[in-house]
């Protein structure tokens, strides 16, 4: 007998849950608890900075500095967020930034001027990402191992290129971008690039098939494969994307420091992972948030700045960072278990 | 002897999880030396009850008495100290450790308090395996190298390595072949003869008849009947207690006759995988449901996954609508119009962190996107239409898929392929983890999809399901088709004879 147990069809054909359409503002700013709590932490930090060093911290120049410093690691973190969301990890980001920054500032490259430096930085980043991606997606290597190998090799190559020397940039177009004259309504160009990368990253993760596939691969790679997604190609693209972000970050770093050094990007991998994790991206994959990652970067950068203004040494900073990571993850575990 | 209190007496046990009252006052008495069977549908509370008994869950209320004394089972270790061992359905062994190391995990024989005496551990493990009738398992082998049945024996050896008074077995026969089941029953008999009590959970009534002494039936977190005689209670009564109804399965009617010229959609020609299944030919026509019946290990799931391209065949080809598929490519299969609802829904099909919408749309993203940009309104609309078509509950595709019941999760998987517009649906154990009431609805859905022109290839270990739902049945034994017939010409006994004996008589 054909007799479904559920209510008859007619009952299911009613209109979707009625009620007024949500206003645009609630759609755009429908921030979840996690984002709000991160904003709260950031607000608290700003308050602490404002109270302890009212003149220095809230000075426009200082705020510009904080945002500029956040830009380099921020761009790296956006790429890292994609990789972690897909269930992977990229330990080589710092080394790629270093390699891209020195390759783009060799005497030979600088002869090609602004375009040559930008092109080289991005190409080196994408090239390293390609190697990572091929090894992981098609060579079957564990991301941790493949990118650890890339970390070692890229750092080594960067040292070989520079011979340990700082490569000063002499191209005027690059140096000018770091000057105050280049600020757009008081916003440094680096921050604009960071903002653009953030917005594009958010859109790609949340509004495109690429983002959906990233989340699907991270949430359940086997299910994604059986649903017809090309999991390997997606993984390749993700490490390419991370490499691309590293190349952009290297370019920003060249503008910021006016030089290329093989020690650039030291421990960026840990900072980027930490920022993504406190932002709410799951280390096991399947859930990622660009907004959270960017807030995580801003929180860390602000802490560094406040500590520096108060003449606290970097050892104290490191301890505070560690404590924040633990606290953030514990809070997330609690909120996750109650929902 | 003075009247002894029961070995175990649980009364009024309650346990709630957020949103669910899993146990609603359950009573259970177990006496030494008996096989006490627990029966109930999925979701009736069996798993929660045995986890309370194993010390893995703390009850919210009720009392547990052990040999007459009230006890609190604070942790699995506390339960083990009393002599309660649990063999879970999903085996909890460490694959990269040896058999002996697994058996003695947590209570290794040591010298000087910390040096593991490997020789002693292996010797005692070998004695336990001998007692369990499997002396051929080498205690030094890694557990990951053993078959599922052997792993279960190891699990049992682990339970017996403690001084055990009560063993809980959760569907121990589910992964076993008939002769292994006989061995299991022999072991159970030995244990109970030695005064050990066994709490036995199974869906198979015939097993309960064979080895059970008493039966407790759970339904909706309550014990609806306790201590029924296992051998003499009529099946009808037991099923009625479990379901509150008198029929176990309701199958939709088959269409009256073959519709006008039937068109073959899926053709499998000489498909084989070395060591898994022999060259296989089969054809599924539009509107037809073809069933594969066979025991675990007969190659059913492997066949389905090879047709789908998830495994690479060693020979043969799959043809869809007259076009051969690229071998071993899921993407080619999906592009050609195949869809798979896999056996392990949560592990192989669902994105558990995501909404129903996203689970349904994941295979058709390009339909809702332009240059990679997703039109979320179109996506939601299509997902809503597909889930309504299947009467998925709740009628809100924005809810997370993990909050759905097993039957509705399965509908979400079917909706995915419906939305994709697939031509061939491959169903692997479609009603696993789906309770009886929801099954009838799923059967109706599958039949309706077939009536609308889909070709369906169905695999199930439940013979009545294959016979009730399919039009044509292929009976498999050890990777070989031993019989093909219209479902209407077969009955359960005949199929069981075939899968066990393999003689294609007549």
What confidence tens digit (pLDDT) does each residue in B253-296 have? 887 655 555 789 999 999 999 888 899 999 999 999 999 988 76
Kindly determine whether residue B347 and residue A224, on different chains, have CB atoms separated by under 8 Å: no
Looking at the DSSP bridge assignments, the partners of residue B485 are B473
* Size of the A and B interface in Cβ pairs below 8 Å: 106
On chain B, the residues whose CB falls within 8 A of the CB of A4 are 391, 440-441, 444-445
Q: CA A277 from chain center: how many Å? A: 11
Sequence-distant (≥ 6) Cβ neighbours of residue A280 within 8 angstroms: A34, A35, A38, A287, A289, A292, A332
Kindly determine whether residue B342 and residue A16, on different chains, have CB atoms separated by under 8 Å: no
CA distances from A107 to A95, A103, B113 (A): 21, 9, 66
Kindly determine whether residue B384 and residue A227, on different chains, have CB atoms separated by under 8 Å: no
CA dihedral B121→B127→B130→B131, nearest 10 degrees, is: -120
Beta strand residue intervals within A146-217, DSSP E: 167-168
Q: Could you state, in order of their start, the residue ranges of all structural domains in chain A? A: 44-338
Q: By CA distance, what is B346's nearest residue in A?
A: A223
Mean pLDDT of chain A: 88
Return the percentage of chain A with pLDDT > 90, whole number. 73
| pLDDT score, position B161 | 87
| pLDDT score, position B296 | 63
Window B:6-65, CB contacts with A under 8 Å: none
3-state secondary structure of B11: strand
On chain B, the residues whose CB falls within 8 A of the CB of A223 are 347-351
Window B:319-338, CB contacts with A under 8 Å: 330-331, 333-335
User: CA A81, CA A282: separation in Å to the nearest integer?
Assistant: 9
- Residue B391: exposure state from Cβ atoms within 10 A (0-12, 13-18, ≥19): buried
Window B:331-370, CB contacts with A under 8 Å: 331, 333-335, 340, 342, 347-354, 358, 361-363, 365-366, 369
Please report how many Cα atoms fall inside a 13 Å half-sphere around the Cα of residue A330, on the Cβ side.
6
Rg of the Cα atoms in chain A: 22
pLDDT for A22 beyond 80: no
On chain A, the residues whose CB falls within 8 A of the CB of B442 are none
Residue ranges of chain B whose pLDDT lies below 50: 1, 245-247, 502-506
> Least CB-CB distance to A212: which of B253, B362, B396?
B362
Report H helices in B299-355.
Answer: 300-307, 330-336, 345-348
ipTM surpasses cut 0.90: no
Region for residue A163 given its phi and psi (left: phi exceeds 0; alpha: psi -120 to 50; beta: otherwise): left
Output B413 or A32, whichever has higher pLDDT: B413
| pLDDT score, position B18 | 64
Determine the distance in angstroms separating the CA of A228 from the nearest CA of chain B, rounded to an integer: 5
Q: Please, are residues B97 and B141 in contact by the beta-carbon 8 Å criterion?
A: no
On chain B, the residues whose CB falls within 8 A of the CB of A6 are 391, 393, 441
Strand pairing report for A259-260 and B8-17: unpaired
A158-199 per-position pLDDT tens digit: 999 999 999 999 998 898 888 888 898 989 999 999 999 999
DSSP string for A15-82: PSS-SPPPPHHHHHT---HHHHHHHHHHHHHHHHHHHHSHHHHTSHHHHHHHHHHHHHHHHHHHHHHH
Closest CA to A253 of A147, A167, A129: A167
User: CA B461, CA B449: separation in Å to the nearest integer?
Assistant: 22
Kindly determine whether residue B351 and residue A13, on different chains, have CB atoms separated by under 8 Å: no
On chain B, the residues whose CB falls within 8 A of the CB of A208 are 369, 372-374
Residue B422 backbone phi and psi in degrees, to 5: -75, 155
pLDDT for A339 beyond 50: no
CA dihedral A52→A56→A61→A62, nearest 10 degrees, is: -30
Q: By CA distance, what is A231's nearest residue in B?
A: B331
Kindly determine whether residue B353 and residue A224, on different chains, have CB atoms separated by under 8 Å: no
| pLDDT score, position A223 | 95
Determine the distance in angstroms separating the CA of B25 from the nearest CA of chain A, rounded to an integer: 25
Q: Please, are residues B383 and B356 in contact by the beta-carbon 8 Å criterion?
A: yes
User: What tokens does B53 get?
Assistant: 């008994």
Look up the pTM and report it.
0.79
| pLDDT score, position B221 | 82
Q: By CA distance, what is A222's nearest residue in B?
A: B348
User: CA B458, CA B463: separation in Å to the nearest integer?
Assistant: 11
User: CA A233, CA A225: separation in Å to the nearest integer?
Assistant: 11
pLDDT for A156 beyond 90: yes
What spatial distance separates the first Cα and last Cα of chain A, rounded to whole Å?
Answer: 41
| pLDDT score, position B432 | 79
Beta strand residue intervals within B90-148, DSSP E: 110-111, 115-116
Q: Please, are residues A174 and A258 in contact by the beta-carbon 8 Å criterion?
A: yes
Strand pairing report for B315-320 and B323-324: antiparallel
Element (H, E) at A314: helix A314-338
Residue B20 backbone phi and psi in degrees, to 5: -135, 135
A160-169 per-position pLDDT tens digit: 999 999 999 9
Determine the distance in angstroms separating the CA of B372 from the nearest CA of chain A, rounded to an integer: 5
B184-236 per-position pLDDT tens digit: 899 899 899 989 999 998 767 778 888 999 999 888 788 888 888 888 887 76
Kindly determine whether residue B253 and residue A225, on different chains, have CB atoms separated by under 8 Å: no
Q: Is the CATH number 1.10.3470 carried by domain A44-338? A: yes
CA distances from B433 to A325, B41, B173, B404, B430 (A): 39, 9, 16, 12, 9
Looking at the DSSP bridge assignments, the partners of residue B84 are B166
On chain B, the residues whose CB falls within 8 A of the CB of A225 are 310, 330
Q: B308 — contact with chain A (CB < 8 Å)?
A: yes
Kindly determine whether residue A3 and residue B250, on different chains, have CB atoms separated by under 8 Å: yes
Q: B465 — contact with chain A (CB < 8 Å)?
A: no
Kindly determine whether residue A212 and residue B348, on different chains, have CB atoms separated by under 8 Å: no
Determine the distance in angstroms separating the CA of A227 from the nearest CA of chain B, rounded to an integer: 5
> Least CB-CB distance to B350: which of A5, A7, A223?
A223
pLDDT for A2 beyond 50: no
Output B150 or A51, whichever has higher pLDDT: A51
């Amino acid at each position: 007998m054909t007799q479904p147990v559920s209510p008859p069809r007619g009952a299911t054909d009613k209109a979707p849950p009625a009620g007024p359409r949500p206003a645009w503002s609630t759609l755009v700013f429908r921030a979840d608890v996690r984002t709000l709590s991160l904003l709260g932490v950031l607000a608290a930090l700003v308050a602490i900075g404002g109270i302890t060093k009212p003149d220095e911290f809230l000075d426009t120049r200082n705020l510009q500095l904080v945002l500029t410093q956040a830009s380099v690691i921020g761009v790296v973190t956006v790429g890292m967020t994609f990789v972690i969301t897909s269930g992977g990890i990229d330990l080589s980001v710092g080394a790629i930034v270093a390699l891209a920054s020195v390759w783009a500032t060799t005497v030979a490259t600088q002869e090609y001027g602004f375009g040559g430096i930008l092109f080289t930085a991005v190409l080196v980043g994408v090239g390293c990402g390609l190697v990572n991606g091929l090894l992981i997606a098609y060579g079957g290597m564990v991301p941790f191992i493949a990118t650890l190998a890339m970390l070692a090799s890229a750092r080594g190559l960067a040292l070989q290129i520079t011979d340990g020397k700082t490569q000063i940039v002499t191209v005027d177009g690059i140096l000018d971008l770091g000057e105050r004259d280049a600020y757009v309504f008081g916003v440094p160009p680096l921050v604009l690039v960071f903002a653009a990368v953030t917005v594009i990253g958010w859109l790609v993760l949340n509004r495109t098939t690429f983002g959906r596939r990233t989340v699907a691969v991270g949430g359940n790679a086997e299910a994604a494969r059986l649903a017809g997604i090309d999991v390997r190609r997606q993984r390749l693209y993700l490490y390419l994307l991370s490499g691309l972000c590293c190349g952009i970050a290297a370019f920003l770093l060249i503008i910021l420091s006016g030089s290329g050094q093989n020690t650039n990007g030291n421990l960026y991998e840990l900072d980027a992972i930490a920022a993504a994790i406190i932002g709410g991206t799951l280390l096991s994959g399947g859930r990622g948030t660009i907004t959270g990652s960017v807030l995580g970067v801003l929180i860390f950068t602000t802490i560094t700045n406040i500590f520096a203004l108060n003449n606290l040494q970097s050892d104290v900073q490191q301890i505070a960072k560690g404590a924040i990571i633990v606290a953030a993850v514990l809070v997330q575990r609690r909120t996750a278990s109650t929902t | 002897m003075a009247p002894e209190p029961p070995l175990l007496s649980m009364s009024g046990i309650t346990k709630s999880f957020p949103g669910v009252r899993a146990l609603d006052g359950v009573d259970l008495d177990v006496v030494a030396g008996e096989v006490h069977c627990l029966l109930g549908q999925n979701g009736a509370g069996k798993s929660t009850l045995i986890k309370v008994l194993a010390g893995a869950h703390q009850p919210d209320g009720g009392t547990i008495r052990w040999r007459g004394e009230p006890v609190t089972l604070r942790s699995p270790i506390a339960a083990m100290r009393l002599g309660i061992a649990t063999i879970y359905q999903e085996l909890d062994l460490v694959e990269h450790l040896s058999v002996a190391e697994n058996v003695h995990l947590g209570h290794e024989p040591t010298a000087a308090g910390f040096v593991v005496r490997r020789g002693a551990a292996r010797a005692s493990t070998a004695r336990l395996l001998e007692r369990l009738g499997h002396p051929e398992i080498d205690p030094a082998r890694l557990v990951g190298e053993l078959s599922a049945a052997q792993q279960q024996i190891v699990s049992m050896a682990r339970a017996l390595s403690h001084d055990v008074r009560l063993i809980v077995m959760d569907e121990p026969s589910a992964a076993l072949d008939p002769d292994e089941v006989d061995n299991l029953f022999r072991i159970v008999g030995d244990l109970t003869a030695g005064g050990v009590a066994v709490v036995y959970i199974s869906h198979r009534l015939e097993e309960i008849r064979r080895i059970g002494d008493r039966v407790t039936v759970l339904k909706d977190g309550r014990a609806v009947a306790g201590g029924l005689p296992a051998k003499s209670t009529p099946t009808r009564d037991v099923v009625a207690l479990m379901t509150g109804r008198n029929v176990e399965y309701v199958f939709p009617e088959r269409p009256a006759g073959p519709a006008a010229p039937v068109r073959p959609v899926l053709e499998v020609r000489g498909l084989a995988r070395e060591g898994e299944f022999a060259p296989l030919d089969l054809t599924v026509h539009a509107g037809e449901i073809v069933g594969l019946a066979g025991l675990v290990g007969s190659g059913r799931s492997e066949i389905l996954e090879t047709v789908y391209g998830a495994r690479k065949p060693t020979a043969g080809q799959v043809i869809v609508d007259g076009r051969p598929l690229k071998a071993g490519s899921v993407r080619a299969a999906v592009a050609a119009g195949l869809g798979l609802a896999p056996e392990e829904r949560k592990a192989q099909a669902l994105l558990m962190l995501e909404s129903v919408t996203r689970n349904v749309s994941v295979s058709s993203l390009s339909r809702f996107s332009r240059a990679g940009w997703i039109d979320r309104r179109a996506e939601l609309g299509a997902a809503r239409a597909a889930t309504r078509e299947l009467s998925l509950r709740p009628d809100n595709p924005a809810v997370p898929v993990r909050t759905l019941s097993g039957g509705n999760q399965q509908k979400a998987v079917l909706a995915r392929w419906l939305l994709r517009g697939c031509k061939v649906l491959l169903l692997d154990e479609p009603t696993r983890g789906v309770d009886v009431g929801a099954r009838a609805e799923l059967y109706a859905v599958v039949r309706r999809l077939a009536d609308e022109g889909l070709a369906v290839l169905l695999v199930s270990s439940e013979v009545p399901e294959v016979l009730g739902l399919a039009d044509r049945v292929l009976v498999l034994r050890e990777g070989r088709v031993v019989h093909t017939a219209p479902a209407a010409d077969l009955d359960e006994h005949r199929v069981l004879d075939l899968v066990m004996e393999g003689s294609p008589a007549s």
